[in-house]
Structure formats: structure tokens, C-alpha cells
Amino acid sequence: MRFRARAAAAVAALPLILGATACGAGSNDSAVIATTDSMPTPVVTPSAAPSAAPQKVAPAPVRLNRVTFLPAMNTALAKQKSYRITGKMTAGGQVLTTITGVQQTKPPAMSMTMTGAAFEGKKAKIVAVGKSLYMSIPGVTPAGKYVRIDSSDPSMAQFRKLAGNGDPTKTFKSFQGALRGVKFVRTETIGGVELDRYLLSIDAAVAFKALKQKVPAGAPKTLTYSFWMDDDKMARRFSFDLMGISMVMTMDPTTAPVSIKAPAAKNVVS
């Protein structure tokens, strides 16, 4: 099936400003009178300027490390009810796949659309509700129709992997036990939001095993991810490069309620 070959390519992969106070002294201020042969001339002695109030120094920001990174990220993620996801996968200057969708955490569900060269410019749609996964794939299912993926069917492994690439939470879970290093890089403003950028070193073998996948031939032993975290330690963006394939994904918390439902039974085909 041509789609399997195309899908395989897609998945291998503040300044502080201080105020100055000007103090003047009037003729009623404290004075020393000098007496001469002429009329006394008042000599005004300036009043002592009031001492400036001590400035409050903002506490240094807390940076995450190898021990605190995942717990902080997972705690923030658990508090977020839903978020929009956008992503792009490229290789050799060509966009293989673009991803747009929305995901909710309670109950767990995801609705996602994928387009790009891997689908010959057409749209693939994926809906996950609980443990059920539905996919509408150009050239595989009729237009507007979905097939339900049986998690126990080995022949559907490629499709499950494809869906997993669009679910950032699966990637995060695979880091458990595989995280080898965390380094703060700098604070950057992306989309009008200040985010802290970190570099993560991941043990490839452990991570792929958690995903129930084999390490691709030629893959490095250590994978490097860039993560951008907001003040609440919510992962807002992450990226990686693996064997010539680059992936960038953003996660934007939503405020409006999200409702994701499985396709109607009449739109599900065998």
C-alpha cells in the first residue's frame, strides 16, 4: 500500500527604574544666623534628604533540572483541561506533515487533522476517545468515513504509530526513565509569551521501548529535545531532529469548553 510507505517517512521520526526625589528648603527651614556689621543675612542649610526605602529584589527564577523537570511538567499538564496542538514535520526542506487539532485530558480525547506530502496534499483525520481510535485516511477509507483501529491487530501498528505522533502526551510519557539531562538555555518570547527554553537529553532505547517501538536503524543513542515552558511549567512548545526529520509542535491552553466525540456509527466502516 502506497500510504504505508508515505506514512513511514512521516513517523520515523524587566530594567528597574529608580525615582529621584528633589528636596528644596524654604526660609522656614533650619538656619544658622551669621552676624556682621550689616543686616543679618540668613543662611539656609538644606534639609537632609530622607533615606530611600530599600528596594525589594525579585527572587531569582527557579530553573528546572533532571529531577524536577518531568514532575513539574506533568503536574502542569494535569491541571490543563484542554489545549490546541499544531505541528509540522519536515525533511529535506519538504513539509511531510502538518498537524492541527485539539486535545482534552478529562476524559482523555483528541481530534486531529494531518496534511502534507505523506498524504499527497489531502487530509487525514484522527479521533481518539478513551481507548478507541478512529482514522480517516485518503486512499484507505472512503471520503468522510473512518475505520476503527483495533489496538490488538499487529497489521494496524503503523496507523497507531501515526496517531501517536500527533499526541504530545505519549512523547512525554516515554521520557520517564529515559531522561538523562536537562539544561536551561535562555528565556525567549514566542507568540507574545515569555517561555523558558530547555534542552533535554533522552536515552533513545528507553524512550522507544516505552513507545513499544524499535529504535530506527542509524538513530543516535541519545536524542536531544528543545522544550519551551511557561511560568506555570506547562510545556508550550517542543522540537526535535531525528535522522533528517525535524518536528516542531506547540500546545496552547484553551479557555472555551471542548467536546470531542467519536464519529457517528454510520460513518465508521470496516
- Which structural domains are found in the chain, ordered by start? 62-269 (2.50.20.20)
The torsion defined by the Cα of 178, 183, 184 and 188, in degrees rounded to 10, comes to: -70
DSSP 155: G
pLDDT at 160: 47
What is the CA angle 154-162-75, rounded to 5? 110
Q: What are the strands, taking DSSP E only, across 5-122?
A: 31-34, 41-44, 82-91, 94-104, 109-115
CA 5 to mean position of chain CA atoms: 30
- 262 neighbors 127 (Cβ within 8 angstroms): yes
Burial state string for 213-233 with b = 16 or more CB within 10 A and e = fewer than 16: eeeeeebeeebebebbbbeeb
CA 262 – CA 189 distance, rounded (Å):
37
For CA atoms 230, 235, 237, 239, give the dihedral sign. positive
One digit per residue, the tens of pLDDT, for the chain of length 270 reads 444 444 443 333 322 222 222 333 333 443 333 333 444 445 555 555 556 666 777 677 789 999 999 999 888 888 888 889 999 999 988 888 999 999 887 778 889 999 988 787 889 999 988 778 898 988 888 988 999 886 555 544 555 444 444 455 666 777 888 999 999 999 999 888 999 999 999 999 998 888 778 888 888 999 999 999 999 999 999 999 988 889 999 989 888 878 889 999 999 997
Cell triple for 174: 516515554
DSSP 210: H
Please name the residue ranges forming H helices in 114-193. 157-165, 168-174
CA 174 – CA 179 distance, rounded (Å):
9
Q: Are strands 41-44 and 146-149 parallel, antiparallel or unpaired?
A: unpaired
Q: For residue 107, is the peptide bond before it cis, meaning its omega torsion is within 30 degrees of 0?
A: yes
The torsion defined by the Cα of 58, 74, 162 and 157, in degrees rounded to 10, comes to: 160
Residue with cell 529535545: 225
pTM to 2 decimals? 0.69
The torsion defined by the Cα of 157, 102, 107 and 143, in degrees rounded to 10, comes to: -50
Beta bridge partners of 87: 99, 249
Region of 92 on the Ramachandran plot (φ > 0 left; ψ -120 to 50 alpha; else beta): left
pLDDT at 53: 66
